Amino acid sequence: MAGKPEYRAWFQSIEDAAERYPLDEVVYTASNGSLLEVAHDRDELSKTSATDWKALFRDRSHITEWPYGSGVWGKKEWVLPEVDNENIVSMYEGNSNLFWADRYGRELGLEDLWIKQCGNSHTGSFKDLGMTVLVSMVKEMVSRGKAIPAVACASTGDTSAALSAYAAAAGLPAVVFLPRGKVSIAQLIQPIANGAIVFALDTDFDGCMEIVREVAQKDGIYLANSMNSLRIEGQKTVGIEICEQFDWEVPDWMIIPGGNLGNVSALAKGLDMLVDLGLVDRRPRIVCAQAEAANPLYLSYQRDFAVFEPIAARPTLATAIQIGNPVSIAKAISALQRYDGIVEQASEAEIADSCARADKTGLFNCPHTGVALAAMEKLLRRDVIKSSDRVVVLSTAHGLKFIDFKVKYHEMALKGIASDHANAAIELPARYGAVRDEMLRQIDSRFGG
Ligand SMILES: *Cc1c(COP(=O)(O)O)cnc(C)c1O
């Protein structure tokens, strides 16, 4: 009889499987500068049958028994098996809803379109999936006696919000570096409210990134930006969860926006485990969608990934993916090659219009999701995606975090964008007759014959 399974995981260089580090070591890159990934003892995991894994995951979903009701920690053995449950810092992230966008799909000519609402999460974006893992590991390291004075990131948006919330829940100091004057109120308020140490520096995002690397190197502050592959381990559960929500039937397409390209790498990494451990028997195709203003992966894809050149990203409505030199480029290219991948891009007008068209059918999308929707519409028009295909779009953040561009869109105030689906408020005196006439006219023009 085999004994109790001994699940193990470690950091490993993506270029040399022999270069390994324990997960409680403070290390972010391999000796030659390449990225690390978290590797798992597959032999140990494969001692449990696919049927038993499926049953375990199903039994745990949404339960209150700590910490397994979290979408991430319900798959603890596949994520971070050796961390003590007492040290896990979770807001029961994951298990986000996947719904059939029936009306939106029908308008486009797609019968089987689904949206995975990763933004329906504690801090409003998928970044929670990765941050629960990273902050839990930090708490575990502190409990093992490691001296970690604080966790830190450079970010203007969703990463700093997630880090601040999880660090606050754990009682760990969080330090957030933001470029002064370049951050919206919505982006600033989450770390402020969660009690993070917020620095507004006279520089841009790259300048903040330099500072955070320096404090990580010289002062032992733990780096929470996405080059830290612990985050990928949590984020990888999203693809597993989607397949689980379809009762282990693999959809034809998964479409995801990409900036630093950690999330598309994570999506593929989770799906790899499903295939390796026999829970599913095929792979979906993955589409990575980029804003035309920040499209270095798209340009590389045009040349079959033979070359990759960083670019200077221009401003885009999709602010979280305005990145010209993505950290996870090597992982992303490998992921797309394994998943018969496609990279598509979207202009600013396409992003805004796709968001607005989808919103009119009851969705409420962030601009990054708009990039994915626009890419999907293009592939559908080119007949690459067929009308009967099952398509899942990964919505990365809650639309309410990104309302400035929606307000401007509907006020027709976005420069260079026609706002084809604008829906401005109608201003009238408060008189029944005038209101009734206009109301009936509007109902008829929008929904009439
Ligand atoms: C971080 C983020 C992305 C991009 O993810 P990468 O891993 O950087 O490619 C997309 N959308 C939203 C809302 C994000 O916060």
- Percent of the chain topping pLDDT 90: 91
Q: Calculate ∠ Cα 129-378-371, nearest 5°.
A: 35
Domain boundaries, the chain: 98-123+232-410
| Residues in contact with 335: Cβ distance below 8 Å, sequence separation at least 6, in sequence order | 264, 265, 267, 268, 269, 286, 341
Q: Is the CB of 231 under 6 A from ligand 1?
A: no
What is the per-residue pLDDT across 333-359, written as a single tens digit (0 to 9) for each? 999 999 999 999 999 999 999 999 999
Q: What share of the chain is helix, strand, coil (3-state, %, to 5)?
A: 45, 15, 40
State pLDDT tens for residues 176-232: 999 888 777 888 899 999 999 999 999 887 789 889 999 999 999 999 998 899 999
For ligand 1, say whether the CB of 158 is within 6 Å of any of its atoms.
yes
Residue 294 has pLDDT above 60, yes or no: yes
Q: How far apart are the CA of 241 and the centre of ligand 1, in A?
A: 18
Q: Is 127 in the pocket of ligand 1 (CB under 6 A)?
A: yes
Any ligand 1 atom below 6 A from CB of 327:
no
Separation of CA 60 and ligand 1 centre (Å) = 28
* Ligand 1 atom closest to residue 226's alpha carbon, by position in its atom list: 7
Ligand 1: atom nearest CA of 263 is 7
Strand 112-117 relative to strand 98-100: parallel, antiparallel, unpaired?
A: antiparallel
**H or E stretch at 346:** strand 342-346
pLDDT band at 448 (very low <50, low <70, confident <90, very high): confident
Q: Is 261 in the pocket of ligand 1 (CB under 6 A)?
A: yes
Out of 122, 126, 205, mutate this one to test ligand 1's pocket (max ligand atoms within 8 Å of CB): namely: 126
The residue among 331, 335, 334, 354 whose CA lies nearest residue 409 is 354
CATH number of 98-123+232-410: 3.40.50.1100
Percent of the chain with pLDDT over 70: 99
Q: Tell me the pLDDT tens digit for each residue of 222-232.
A: 999 988 999 99
322 neighbors 316 (Cβ within 8 angstroms): yes
Alpha-carbon span 83 to 356, nearest angstrom: 43
263 CB near ligand 1 (under 6 Å): yes
Atom of ligand 1 nearest to the CA of 158: 15
| pLDDT band with cut points at 50, 70 and 90 for residue 2 | low
Phi-psi region of 171 (alpha: psi -120 to 50; beta: other; left: phi over 0): left
